[in-house]
Structures are given as structure tokens and as C-alpha cells.
Chains A and B, each alone.
Chain A
Amino acid sequence: MSFRPTRAWALPLVLVGLLASCAQDGGTGVQSAKLAMIQGRGKLVCGVDGKLPGFSFVGPDGRYSGLDVDVCQAMAAAIFGDASKVEFRDLNSSERFAALASGEVDLLSRNTTMTLSRDAPGGNALSFAPTTFFDGQGMMVPAASGITTLKALAGKPICVESGTTTELNLADRMREIGVAYTPLKFQTGDQTYAAYLGGRCIAVTSDRSQLAAKRSSFPNPGAHTLLKDVMSKEPLTPATTNADPAWADAVRWTVNTLIQAEELGITKANITSKLAEAKANKNQADLRRFLGVEGDFGKQLGLPADFVVKIISAVGNYGEIFDRNVGPASKLKLDRGVNNQWTKGGLMYSPPFR
């Protein structure tokens, strides 16, 4: 009978402890309903273009490859530790936002330009991650046409994919310089370039990287030139919806991971040795935090603690992704240009991981 008072005291203590642990869980655990849904489903659904060499393209073996595709795979690696747990949906430009808004896809990684109206809650209400490719709108013409300026396109038919910012920019620029033209609009990139190659229009306009990508796939790439004019800024950016900020954060920091890893010189090849180094050396606090040896960044985002390691070992860092898909190692052979690290004069800059 003598220990009864102790028991009576223990009960409220246990209750308080439980409540406290609950509160703690709620504070740092998974908050995103979307992320929970993706985890329950066992795969990420990612909206891509699917027909754009270098960004997202289905090879003859039925596999997707490209810069946009790698972003999706990085995300899958961050969530599941397995880059293959992603399902790709080919979306054309006119259905992509509806697909994202209705929850059809979890993440849109489809050379989409970040703009105010697409970001704003009163517009398309998207939430943008960091830009993965800084682009500008260009114009491609057959070299034989002798056209070198936008003005020379007066009265000529120009092919453009409908439902894009490209379409709007084209209208704006041409109005600015006072040139009348005939826009020929197609639902998909395929049709747009088929019409251009068929000679129906004298020029085709799109993001410069896309034009270069398509040109590289033409039978005779040398017969087409890109005009010098850059008609707009096109920061191509992965997007999610405003509806789930926690999910948007997970995407944002996954993309930042790719950029930060390049800055730190961590590659797919050396990730294991870097991890071993971080584990061995307690003085490398930055590296330890980044690789999840120390701290709880993963938990804060609702991702596994070692999500960075998983991402880099699956797809490599941003530089590797760029080189592999659109850079020197690819058919497109694009320069890094503004897409270089900020330390090398480019715009790729990841906020600190801390």
C-alpha cells in the first residue's frame, strides 16, 4: 500500500510524456499530405515533356532520359532511396498545369518557365523550385533563307507551340518592333517541328535550348541557324502547387542539393569516399551536415536523413546532370554559360544547408 501514491503520480507523468513526444513528432516529422500520399503509393508521378532530347526523351529501349528526368529521379531517390520509383507522364504544354492542379502529377519537371502569373495564388498558383536551366527564347530559321533579324520575318508564317510563354513572348516582341506575322500554332512540339521541317513556316520559335536540342536531331543540323536575338528570359523550373508548401520545400531542397553538391565537389563517383571522410572527420561540420551524418535536415523536410547521399549516388550533382544530358557529353553540346556555378560566374547558387 505504501507505493500507491507513487503510482498515482506516475500516471500524469506518463501522460505528459506522451503528449510531449506527440508535440515533438508533430514539430519535426512529416507534415506534407502530398509526401505521405506519395510514400503510401510507393512511387512519384512526375510530369515531363517526353519528346525533347536532352530534357526528357524516350529512347528506343523505352527508357526516359534527360535533365528534367534526372530531377524527377533525384526526387524519387530522396523519398525512397531508389531513383527508379518514379512514373513519368508525358504532358503537352497545354495540359501541364491542369494535370498539376488536379493532382494528376506530383511534380512538374517539364521545361516550364517561372513567371509571376504562374507563381501567384491568383494565377496558376504554382510553387517553383530553384531554376534548373536558365534559358532564353530564340528563333530558328533555315540557313538558306538568309534571314538574320526578327524584322526580316515580316509577313512570314512562324511555327509555335500553343499554350506556352513562347507564344505570348512572340506576340509581344513582334508587336514591339511593329512586325506583322502569321503564327501557326500546334498542340505538341512534334507537330510544330514537323510543320517547320515540312516548310510550312519560315521560322520556329522556342527556348534556345529546345531549338538546339531539336536541331541536333534533324537530318541536317547545319542547314538551320539560330537568330542572335534573345526574345525573353526563360528560367526553366520544376514546379509543384501552392496547396502543399511542405512538399514544395522538399522539392526545392532536392534541387538545391544537386547544385550544392557540385559546389562542394561531390560527385556520383566520389560520394562513398566523401561520406566515409565525413564520418571519420568530426571537423568537417559543413560536409557532415550536408550528407546527413550530423543534424536532422532530412527529418525537417520529411525525407530520410541521408537523402543527399541517396540523390547524389543516384543521379550525380548538377554539373554531371548537365554534362550528361545537354553538355559536351551529349548530342546537344550546349555551353554551361549562365548555368555555371556562381563561383564560376554563373547563376547556379544554392542557399546554405544549415
Chain B
Amino acid sequence: MRKPQALLDRVDHPPWWRDRRVIPWLVQGVVGLLLLVLIAFLLGNLVHNLTARGMLLSWRWLGEPAGFDISESFLPFDAAQPYWRGLAAGLANTLRAVLSGLVGATLLGTLAGMASFSRNGLLRGLTRAYVEIIRNIPLLLQLIFWYFVVFLSLPNGTAALQIPGVVLAKSGLYLAGFSQGMHWSLPQLINGVWQAPWRLSVEFAALLSGLIIYSGAFIAEVVRGGIASVPKGQWEAATSLGMGWFPTLRHVVLPQALRVIVPGLNTQYISLAKNSSLAVAVGFSDLYSVAETTLNQTGRALEVYLLLLGAYLALDLVISVVMNGLNRLVQIRER
């Protein structure tokens, strides 16, 4: 009786290295060991090299006076304030660029995405051309073009481009608004310098134009894909009910398309947030630019990079969380 049982055992139990239950652990063990060795090697070198230079992690420098100024910031900042205030001002500038970029790119992208379903062939062709041209040219090149070619060749002073309430000059974009209480005021030229309640620097304007136009093209594709995912019958049904082109789009198609659009938007928003770090090429003091200056004035490479990476990861996380919330909202409508 024993013999067949032993045979059966052998069939059921292949050598241990081919055992279905062992293999996963074996693979994980090997991979884990490799990762561990790699990390230990890198960290060991890091500690060794930093100790040799006397630059082990320390955060005390964050409290010391920065000594440099920032061209524009929401948070008031000057050279006497500590580094962390400078970094915070940079972060505020990044947030400002990202938020305005998100709004602008969404508007532009949605319009362009909708226009690609227009009855007008010329408009369709134009949006197609916009998307195809912009998506195939590097963003950095576009940003530099906007700043050094477009905005820096604007006229200054009295020759500035003016329409009522808005002045576009080399020194910035000036907008009318309420200043000092409820006092409506227009941009004015005082001593050869424009003054207005709202002013955007050309650096910010160049960054924003570049980001909006670049991301807008990608968002237009996302929106187009979303609208295309709605069955044609929906269009036909709505039209046969006597609805026009725009009302159909607005009330019938877009709500359904959002299910597809929102996840795609998430990706685009995150990439816009990260792309804002290219501000450094057009002289806008965003978080990355301030961090680079800080790194250079303090020599604290590792600490500055940890802060920088942490900040961008957090920013991405916030966008993801908001967009996932939005996604849930959009999906619930489907019954």
C-alpha cells in the first residue's frame, strides 16, 4: 500500500524549486534582497560622502536670512527673511501659476474639443491644426518662444497695446479693477510707468500662455475622445427632438462624456503642475527657481531636493484626490 502513496507524493511534490507555493516566496526573496542591497549601497555611499564633506542632513539653515529677493510673490518676502519664507513664497507662486493654468487650459481645451465636432469644416480643421501643431513641439521651446520672442518684443510706455481696461506692455499686463476700497480705476501712465490695480508680470504671462496653450491641446484631445465615446444615436435622438447643436452638446452629450473625460483630465492636470517647473527658463520665481537659488547659496543639495520632491508629490496628490472626488461625482449619475 505504501509504494503507490510514495509515487503519488512524488508526483504531487515536484522538487522544491518548482513548487508553486515556494516560487513566489523565492522570487520575492531574491528581488527583495537585490533591492535591499541596492538601497543599502546607495545610502551607504551617500552617508559616507556627505560625512566626508561635513554636510550631513541638517535643517537649521532654513531659519537663516535668505539674502536674496524675489521678483514677485503673493507672500511678502524680502532678503532679510529666512529661507523657508522664500521657499514658501516660491510655492505660492507655483500654486498661482498652476491654478490659473488649470482654469485656462480647461476652458481652452473644452472649447477646442467641442469645436472639433462643429459643423463648420474650417473650424474643425483649425482645431485639428492647433492640436497637431502644439502637441508636436516641445513645451520648453514654446515657453522660451513666448517669453523671448512674443512678450519681450512688446512695446513699452505710450506705445503699449491698449484696449479699454487692459494694457499690454513689455513691463506687464495691466488690468482695470477696484483699488483702495470700491474705487474703479483704469490703467494709467504715470511718469512713463503704467500703474493699475491688477498687474501680471510678463514672465508670469509668458509661463501662463505657454502652459495653457500646450495643456489646452492635450485637454482638447481628451474632451474630443470623451465626446466621441458617446454613441452617435444620442446626437441623432436629441437632434430629432429639435435640439440645436450646442444644446445637444451641453445637455445630452457632455454629461455622458464626462465619465471618460475626468480621468483623462487628471493626468493632464498633474502634468501641467509638473510642467510649471519650467518657469525657471522664463525668469519666473516659482518653487523650483527659488529652490535652485537656495541650493546654490547654501550648498544644501540633498535637503533642498527632498523639500522640492516632497512639495511636488504633495501637489500631485492634492490634484489626484480632488479629481478622484470629481470622478466619483460624475460616475454616480450613471444608474
A residues with CB within 8 A of B:
93-95, 97-98, 101, 121-125, 155, 157, 162-163, 167-168, 170-172, 174-175, 181-187, 191, 194-195, 198-200, 241-243
Check if B292 sits within 8 Å of A123, measured CB to CB.
Answer: no
How far in angstroms is the closest Cβ of chain A from B81?
A: 11
Cβ-based interface call for B308 (8 A): no
Check if A171 sits within 8 Å of B295, measured CB to CB.
Answer: no
A243 to B54, CA, bound (A): 10
Check if B67 sits within 8 Å of A187, measured CB to CB.
Answer: no
Check if B152 sits within 8 Å of A168, measured CB to CB.
Answer: no
**Please, which residues of chain A bring their CB within 8 A of the CB of B203?**
184
Which chain B residues in 121-164 approach chain A with CB under 8 Å?
Answer: 148, 152-153, 156
Chain A residue nearest to B293 in the complex (CB):
A162
**Please, which residues of chain B bring their CB within 8 A of the CB of A155?**
193
Check if A171 sits within 8 Å of B283, measured CB to CB.
Answer: no
Cβ-based interface call for B52 (8 A): yes
- Contact of B296 (CB < 8 Å), options: A94, A172, A241, A242: A94
Check if B293 sits within 8 Å of A185, measured CB to CB.
Answer: yes
8 residue pairs, one from A and one from B, having the closest CB atoms: A163-B296, A198-B152, A171-B79, A94-B296, A124-B299, A168-B67, A183-B69, A162-B293
- Contact of A97 (CB < 8 Å), options: B68, B79, B80, B299: B299
Check if A186 sits within 8 Å of B283, measured CB to CB.
Answer: yes
A241 to B52, CA, bound (A): 11
Cβ-based interface call for B108 (8 A): no
**Please, which residues of chain A bring their CB within 8 A of the CB of B79?**
168, 171-172, 175
Which chain B residues in 161-197 approach chain A with CB under 8 Å?
Answer: 170-171, 193
Beyond A174-B69, A243-B52: 16 further Cβ-contacts under 8 Å? Answer: A94-B292, A97-B296, A98-B295, A101-B299, A125-B299, A157-B171, A162-B68, A175-B80, A183-B68, A183-B69, A187-B281, A198-B152, A198-B170, A199-B152, A241-B53, A242-B53
**Please, which residues of chain B bring their CB within 8 A of the CB of A97?**
296, 299
Check if A172 sits within 8 Å of B67, measured CB to CB.
Answer: yes
Check if B148 sits within 8 Å of A171, measured CB to CB.
Answer: no
- Contact of A185 (CB < 8 Å), options: B80, B171, B283: B283
Check if A183 sits within 8 Å of B53, measured CB to CB.
Answer: no
Chain B residue nearest to A242 in the complex (CB):
B53
**Please, which residues of chain A bring their CB within 8 A of the CB of B156?**
199
A122 to B301, CA, bound (A): 14
Known A125-B53, A175-B79, A199-B170; contact A185-B71, beta-carbon cutoff 8 A: yes
Per-residue contact bits, chain B 285-306, to A (CB 8 Å; 1 contact, 0 not) = 1000100110111010100000
How far in angstroms is the closest Cβ of chain A from B268?
A: 27
Residue pairs across A and B with Cβ atoms less than 8 A apart, 19 shown, are A94-B295, A98-B295, A98-B301, A101-B301, A125-B53, A125-B299, A155-B193, A157-B71, A162-B293, A163-B292, A163-B295, A171-B67, A171-B69, A171-B78, A175-B78, A175-B80, A185-B289, A199-B156, A243-B53
A260 to B38, CA, bound (A): 51
A171 to B280, CA, bound (A): 20
**Please, which residues of chain B bring their CB within 8 A of the CB of A170?**
69
How far in angstroms is the closest Cβ of chain A from B289?
A: 7
Check if B152 sits within 8 Å of A195, measured CB to CB.
Answer: yes
- Contact of B71 (CB < 8 Å), options: A123, A184, A243: A184
How far in angstroms is the closest Cβ of chain A from B171?
A: 7
A155 to B70, CA, bound (A): 14
A95 to B301, CA, bound (A): 10
Cβ-based interface call for B202 (8 A): yes
A61 to B52, CA, bound (A): 41
**Please, which residues of chain B bring their CB within 8 A of the CB of A94?**
292-293, 295-296
**Please, which residues of chain A bring their CB within 8 A of the CB of B52?**
243
- Contact of B152 (CB < 8 Å), options: A122, A123, A200: A200
**Please, which residues of chain B bring their CB within 8 A of the CB of A167?**
68, 293
**Please, which residues of chain A bring their CB within 8 A of the CB of B297?**
163, 168
A163 to B289, CA, bound (A): 10
A168 to B68, CA, bound (A): 5
**Please, which residues of chain A bring their CB within 8 A of the CB of B148?**
194-195, 198
**Please, which residues of chain A bring their CB within 8 A of the CB of B152?**
194-195, 198-200
A219 to B260, CA, bound (A): 55
A183 to B54, CA, bound (A): 33
Check if A162 sits within 8 Å of B296, measured CB to CB.
Answer: yes
How far in angstroms is the closest Cβ of chain B from A101?
A: 6
A185 to B193, CA, bound (A): 21
A191 to B289, CA, bound (A): 14
Check if A195 sits within 8 Å of B295, measured CB to CB.
Answer: no
Chain B residue nearest to A164 in the complex (CB):
B296
**Please, which residues of chain B bring their CB within 8 A of the CB of A181?**
69
**Please, which residues of chain A bring their CB within 8 A of the CB of B299?**
97-98, 101, 123-125
Chain B residue nearest to A159 in the complex (CB):
B283
**Please, which residues of chain A bring their CB within 8 A of the CB of B289?**
162, 185, 187
- Contact of A183 (CB < 8 Å), options: B71, B171, B296: B71
